[in-house]
Chain A
Amino acid sequence: MMRPVAFGVVGAVAVAAMAGPFLVPFDPAIQDLSHRLAGPTLAHPLGFDELGRDVLARLLVGARISLFVGLAVVSVSATVGTAVGAVAGYAGGWTDEITGRLMDVLLAFPGILLAIALVAVLGPSLMHVVLALVSIGWVGYARLVRGQVLKVRELEYVQAARALGASPWRVLFLHVVPSTTSAVIVQGTLGMAGAIIAEASLSFLGLGVQPPTPSWGTMLDAGRSHLFDAPHLTIFPGLAIAVVVLGFTFAGEALRDHLDPRSAG
């Protein structure tokens, strides 16, 4: 029952992000100080922020940023990770050894610490957030694909392709890598949730999207100063993050059950 809901949530967020300006007739940047911190009304269902801007309009622009970061981080990480993991797993030897050690070092940094460090030195911006998250994100895909390639490269159809004289690159990218696609798609869907939370975390810490551009993380950070007088500034962006993260998590699990039933829990 949760699966259609999960895909529904993901679809609804995508539509809302794209059609945001048409759904809400308010400019997310226009300030109306007379309504500063005002709570929800019928015309403004999520109320106003500390500068009198419509919270719903800003939340929809924030959805666009969250989805952009999620898609950018997942697609670049998956591409780089798949290429590195496939080459390392297929080539073996020192190529695999060097890649393995590099991945060990990157995995030695817990969670988004390395991303925090990178954004700290590069400076806060949306592009640096994507770059930082990709720099840690590709490792998961590389490990996944490497493991799959190690199994697949010994299968008979791969050996047959080699025996027929196909070049290593042809065997790898035409016969071996396609068999890892399902696992990568599942990981990518689950990775969307991780990337969205990571972007919001960095923005919350002041290291991501910079004001006045609305991001769910910066909105939560701004809401922190108004816990007493305007709790709606904290509640709604957080709910948006939780719903989207749950949507992608359930969608990822449903895809895994469908594409890779053996690993289903």
Chain B
Amino acid sequence: MLRYLLRRLALTIPVLFGVATMVFALIHLVPGDPAQAMLGESAADSDVRDLRTRLGLDQPLMVQYQSFLGGLARGDLGTSFRYNTPVSKEILARLGPTTALAVVAMVVAILIAIPLGVIGALYRGRVVDRAAMTLSLAGIAMPNFWLGPVLAIIFSVELGWLPVSGSGTWRHLVLPALTLGSALAAVTARMTRASLGDELRELYVLAARARGLSRARVVLAHAWRNSLIPVVTIVGLQLGAVLTGTIITETIFSWPGVGRLLIQAITFRDYPLVQGCILLIAVTYVTMNLVVDMVYALLDPRIRYQ
């Protein structure tokens, strides 16, 4: 296991290095002068010069790159142009709400997906299966920037049960989490159905039934556990969708997280903050994929002996 862990870790380091390089390159893709782009065309030359010095854009590219990597190593992501505070401070302040949204959305997704998937597998081809799978397909096809406003129309405008947007209480979290969780639920439900369906066709299930075990016991004690590995994997792989989903969901519901901060930073051309947010999301994604691989190897010994 330790060898697998070290090998997997060694493969991640160049990827993280590549991610950092790509994020560094972003600011240099800005057409023309990034400092001029940030300040606008009407800015005074002296202001543009000052900003170039402040951002280190007057240094040779390799020097800028070294100082960027050095800063990263120290946890220094630069200074936000808009807030005039360290980028890391702005991101940290919004990490809590984003984590809360992502975690609750995952829980919502699992609570919706598992029953739908199990029903689909147990009653394959019947009306209830078709209804469950149509529901999950609708979840895949409905973009969250539509589902969110539709849920707001139903639960806020028509029924008046929940606030349309904002933060502060658990009630503010319900609609964003439901919006973000629905798309994840759709994919997970289909995976649960396929995985449990495959297990139910295995010979050991037939043998257990032949020995007189009840259908419920066979499903819950045997087939269900074995079908969990691909489900756990797909839930883990969905993290990417959660992370990008937070960008849109937070924007819809004015949820004060990192996703909304990123869009605001883009609007204000606050490139250091844009860089910081993108770096954080990408590194979180890579790290979570690493963790999922580790869990997968723990669950399935065949992986670590490959």
A residues adjacent to B (C-beta < 8 A) = 101-102, 104-105, 108-114, 116-118, 120-123, 193, 197, 200-201, 204-207, 217, 220-221, 223-224, 227-228, 231, 234-235, 237-238, 241-243, 245-246, 249, 265
Cβ–Cβ contact A205 & B157, under 8 A: no
Partner of A238, one of B16, B27, B150, B157: B150
B148-161 Cβ-contact flags toward A at 8 Å (1 or 0): 01101100110000
A204 / chain B contacts, CB cutoff of 8 Å:
145, 248
Does any Cβ of A come within 8 Å of B266's Cβ? yes
Given the contacts A204-B248, A235-B150, A121 and B140 also touching, CB distance less than 8 Å: no
Cβ–Cβ contact B18 & A121, under 8 A: no
Give complex CA distance A193, B153 in Å.
Answer: 26
* Shortest Cβ distance from residue A157 to the other chain B in the assembled complex, whole angstroms: 31
Does any Cβ of A come within 8 Å of B135's Cβ? no
Does any Cβ of A come within 8 Å of B192's Cβ? no
Nearest first, the 3 closest Cβ-Cβ pairs linking A and B are A238-B146, A110-B240, A105-B18
Cβ–Cβ contact B153 & A227, under 8 A: yes
Given the contacts A108-B19, A121-B27, A227-B164, A245 and B141 also touching, CB distance less than 8 Å: yes
Range for the number of chain B residues in contact with chain A: 35 or more
Q: Which residue of B lies closest to A228 (CB)?
A: B157
Q: Which residue of A lies closest to B271 (CB)?
A: A121
Give complex CA distance A200, B146 in Å.
Answer: 10
Partner of B145, one of A114, A121, A193, A217: A217
Partner of B274, one of A110, A120, A221, A223: A120
A104 / chain B contacts, CB cutoff of 8 Å:
14-15, 18
Does any Cβ of A come within 8 Å of B263's Cβ? yes
Which residues 93-119 of B sit at the A interface, judged by CB distance below 8 A?
Answer: none
Most buried by B among A120, A237, A249: A120
* Shortest Cβ distance from residue B105 to the other chain A in the assembled complex, whole angstroms: 14
Q: Which residue of A lies closest to B146 (CB)?
A: A238
B263 / chain A contacts, CB cutoff of 8 Å:
205-206
Given the contacts A113-B278, A116-B266, A238 and B143 also touching, CB distance less than 8 Å: yes
B22 / chain A contacts, CB cutoff of 8 Å:
105, 109, 114
A–B pairs, 22, beta carbons within 8 Å:
A105-B19, A108-B285, A109-B19, A109-B278, A109-B285, A110-B281, A111-B241, A113-B282, A116-B266, A121-B26, A121-B271, A122-B29, A200-B143, A201-B143, A201-B145, A204-B145, A228-B157, A234-B150, A235-B150, A238-B147, A238-B149, A241-B141
Q: Which residue of A lies closest to B244 (CB)?
A: A111
Q: Helix, strand, loop or mixed for chain B's interface?
A: helix
Give complex CA distance A217, B263 in Å.
Answer: 15
Inter-chain pairs besides A116-B266, A205-B248, 16 sampled, C-beta below 8 Å:
A101-B15, A104-B14, A109-B285, A110-B281, A113-B282, A116-B247, A120-B274, A122-B31, A206-B267, A220-B146, A223-B149, A238-B142, A238-B146, A245-B140, A249-B141, A265-B194
Does any Cβ of A come within 8 Å of B200's Cβ? no
B271-299 Cβ-contact flags toward A at 8 Å (1 or 0): 10010001001100110000000000000
Cβ–Cβ contact A242 & B247, under 8 A: no
Cβ–Cβ contact B26 & A117, under 8 A: yes
B residues adjacent to A (C-beta < 8 A) = 14-16, 18-19, 21-23, 26-27, 29-31, 137-138, 140-143, 145-147, 149-150, 152-153, 156-157, 164, 194, 239-241, 243-245, 247-248, 251-252, 262-263, 266-267, 271, 274, 278, 281-282, 285-286
Given the contacts A197-B143, A227-B153, A108 and B15 also touching, CB distance less than 8 Å: yes
Cβ–Cβ contact B149 & A227, under 8 A: yes
Cβ–Cβ contact A242 & B146, under 8 A: yes
Give complex CA distance A221, B149 in Å.
Answer: 10
A114 / chain B contacts, CB cutoff of 8 Å:
22
B157 / chain A contacts, CB cutoff of 8 Å:
227-228, 231
A110 / chain B contacts, CB cutoff of 8 Å:
239-241, 243-244, 281-282, 285
Cβ–Cβ contact B18 & A234, under 8 A: no
A223 / chain B contacts, CB cutoff of 8 Å:
149
Cβ–Cβ contact B240 & A224, under 8 A: no
